Structure 1
């Protein structure tokens, strides 16, 4: 579904991503784990074209997307939920969700998608007229995910969805990620510092260290890999 070949990213003299190769098959949950500064977010931003890579190629559903704009990437169903949620604090829950569907022109389709989001996140329905900035951290994460679902993603890129959340909410967010994958058939690439939880729900994983993929494979196998446990699972 998504293939990234020999991706390189530079920030001035800093070589942040070095000849990175990843492949994601339809229906999978793939996690990208690594320490702070490993290049996880840079990888997602390169795929979304929020930053322009120095070199490399990217293919989505067989089409080369290397030189497409962010808008064109979104049109093809490749949607990112940013780190830190980034909801529009001064807009209501409903307005935030409507912005997720800004490329859609069919009102009935938008209404149908809105209904699906509210069924998935009943708390958002209860707070639909509330300003997003007044929601709890967990509710804002649900709103950010709901907003992404309004764009009808084929591949959902999740950047640190558990960041700053209480343990009970972290479990809930990971449950939601699994439901989105299994029940809605959406392929997911998740970047997470909570490596333990990410590996538990993923099919496969890539481990990133200073811009290099140092290990990849079946997520459950990596979860029990002694070197991985020591380095990332505590």
Structure 2
């Protein structure tokens, strides 16, 4: 049974229809990709979940109940969002950046436990814990952004283009880390990604969007076996 569902979600930016009656779901423990060309509405799916997009129709359900919390409260319910472009706090240290992921947590012992857990998963963050985030490479900053998302101990992790702008060798490392988060922590992951080949290697299912609509939903192999990507990316 899906723990996170979008049912007939429509998002309009004035006259622009970003999502048009989109329905999709993610089951516990799954890694699910949302793919499609630029402007297909991929990132808008995540923003709709987080209350960051003007939803004009449909409903988002979290654990079979309407998700009606304010954006800043959603993380407390178990959904963490890692936005596109890393967006680390460059003037803060690595450890301070991580702590920003659970500002609402008043239990110092639990915060320290989560910090240790994340640093165990990302050794580079432990190594650089007292360095400013501005001193890190792009790939290291992406690991920091992922780690900050995990500091909320989420049931579901939403990732928006986690490999954007990274070198190929770093892209591979990010995908490996996403798969490791799923395997080790049993975190459910919904990932928007433009790197089709890389993401299909790590997900259980994939949705393909085009012009704000879901045009395919299936296993990675079903995506590979059809010409759906050729249709949406090349318009053929």
TM-score range, shorter chain: over 0.9
The two structures, once aligned, show a CA RMSD in angstroms of: 1.4
**TM superposition score normalised by structure 1:** 0.95
The aligned counterpart of 2:145 is 144
TM superposition shift of 1:224: 3.0
Q: Which moved more, 1:197-206 or 1:136-145?
A: 197-206
The aligned counterpart of 2:59 is 57
Which of 44, 47, 50 aligns to 1:45? It is 47
Secondary structure of the corresponding residue to residue 55 of structure 2: coil
Secondary structure of the corresponding residue to residue 75 of structure 2: helix
4+ residue segments displaced more than 4 Å: 229-233
The aligned counterpart of 1:192 is 193
Aligned residues of 1:200 and 1:223 also touching (Cα < 8 A): no
The aligned counterpart of 2:34 is 32
Secondary structure of the corresponding residue to residue 201 of structure 2: helix
Tell me the distance in 1 between the aligned counterparts of 2:32 and 2:230. Answer: 18
Secondary structure of the corresponding residue to residue 103 of structure 2: coil
Q: Which moved more, 1:153-162 or 1:222-231?
A: 222-231
Tell me the distance in 2 between the aligned counterparts of 1:217 and 1:143. Answer: 31
Quick check: 1:91 aligned with 2:108?
no
Q: Which ranges of structure 2 fall in alignment gaps of 5 or more residues?
A: none
The aligned counterpart of 1:223 is 224
Tell me the distance in 1 between the aligned counterparts of 2:117 and 2:210. Answer: 38
Q: Which ranges of structure 1 fall in alignment gaps of 5 or more residues?
A: none
Tell me the distance in 1 between the aligned counterparts of 2:180 and 2:110. Answer: 22
Tell me the distance in 2 between the aligned counterparts of 1:90 and 1:153. Answer: 26
TM superposition shift of 1:232: 5.2
Aligned residues of 1:200 and 1:220 also touching (Cα < 8 A): no
Deviation per CA, 1:172-199, whole angstroms, max 9, x where unpaired? 1000000100110000000000011111
The aligned counterpart of 2:129 is 128
Secondary structure of the corresponding residue to residue 158 of structure 1: strand
TM superposition shift of 1:72: 2.2
TM superposition shift of 1:84: 0.3
Aligned residues of 1:223 and 1:229 also touching (Cα < 8 A): no
Aligned residues of 2:80 and 2:158 also touching (Cα < 8 A): yes
**TM superposition score normalised by structure 2:** 0.95
The aligned counterpart of 2:178 is 177
Aligned residues of 1:195 and 1:232 also touching (Cα < 8 A): no
Tell me the distance in 2 between the aligned counterparts of 1:37 and 1:53. Answer: 17
